[in-house]
Amino acid sequence: MKILVTGCAGFIGFHLTKHLLFLNYQVTGIDNINDYYDVELKHARLEQLGIYAKNLQINNPVRSSKFAKFDFYKMDISDQAPVAELFDHSRFDIVCNLAAQAGVRYSIKNPAAYIKSNIQGFFNILEASRKTGIKHLLYASSSSVYGLGKQLPFSASSTTDQPASLYAATKKSNELLAHSYSHLFNLKTTGLRFFTVYGPWGRPDMAMFLFTKAIAEGEPIKIFNSGNMKRDFTYVDDVVDGVLKIIKKSVEEVNRVAKPGIPYKVYNVGKGSSVSLGQFITEIEKKVGIDAIKEHLPMQDGDVAETWADILPMQRDYHYSPSTNVADGVSNFVDWYQSYYGKVPVAYAAVLEDALKK
């Protein structure tokens, strides 16, 4: 089985690729390594996979120095010709499309980037998948598609026609395009609506990272909507476990007769419970050993007050069972953050300085 992971230098893509390689799958990864956030963090993730920045040239393969079954291409999914050529050459069985322009608020400032990557890029993946006859396309959607919906928990069968941001609109568009290709060409597609994923190697623009950095450095943290925000915080290993379960079942079903009907599914991938931002911050404070300096601000454009995933379909179809609680997840992230950045929280720094003087 040959598996393609797009966005493999990204947060979820990196973790998924690493787990696939540990399970001895044949994996190809692509990423354009754009500068939406710290490029060095993306390169550091790739180094964990045996891919080094000095070896990268656009659209040319690099073999991992750590994993014999991993090849990497620096490639942009919005560039149709090299994507089509890669699919023609490699003949993938399963494609995991995690490449996208991320960020709700950034989509207000730079909408063109979202059309290019999330619409044109996804279309290129769909076309290449159709033409080369892949067996299953998994792709990242988002909890943001629920937009202004008020019925909690969010169900994958709920109406999602009120996106609150351009980012959400592009992700909903992905689901509609996938449905069309499943209907017209019998292409098996599964959309995964991820809910506030966090953990080691996380994105610097996400709450977990921003809060930890600010608290550790004695800077104020921005709390929107007076702190009355709730999120279905989902630890990255639980997310990856869900994706792996889908892939494993796909491998088992490859030689079975396809069931009648449109081979199209959309699932929520979350923890299945809602946690207040205040509780999340408290766990960071306990782990770092410092009380946060809080700056209260109004709700931001494109944001929603609460997310909460109905994960019963994933549990029913794939025995999905997220098990990491917020306290353990936060602890793991803070340990990674302090190890990666070599930063000691300001409260400990003062104690350390006094100890050194003695």
Active-site residue set: 167
Reported in sequence order, the residue ranges of 81-172 that DSSP labels E, i.e. its strands, are 94-97, 136-142
CA–CA distance, 326 with 347 (Å, rounded to integer): 23
Reported in sequence order, the residue ranges of 111-224 that DSSP labels E, i.e. its strands, are 136-142, 189-194, 197-198, 220-224
Question: Rg of the chain over CA atoms, in angstroms?
Answer: 21
Reported in sequence order, the residue ranges of the chain that DSSP labels E, i.e. its strands, are 2-6, 26-31, 61-63, 70-74, 94-97, 136-142, 189-194, 197-198, 220-224, 230-231, 234-235, 264-269, 275-276, 293-297
Whether 341 contacts 282, CB under 8 Å: no
Whether 28 contacts 132, CB under 8 Å: no
The single-letter code of the amino acid at 216 is A
Q: At what angle do helices 39-48 and 11-22 cross, to 10 degrees?
A: 10
Whether 89 contacts 28, CB under 8 Å: no
Whether 194 contacts 270, CB under 8 Å: yes
Reported in sequence order, the residue ranges of 37-132 that DSSP labels E, i.e. its strands, are 61-63, 70-74, 94-97
Mark 186-199 as b/e (b = at least 16 C-beta within 10 Å).
ebbbbbbbbbbbbb
Whether 210 contacts 221, CB under 8 Å: yes
**β-sheet bridge partners, residue 97:** 6, 139
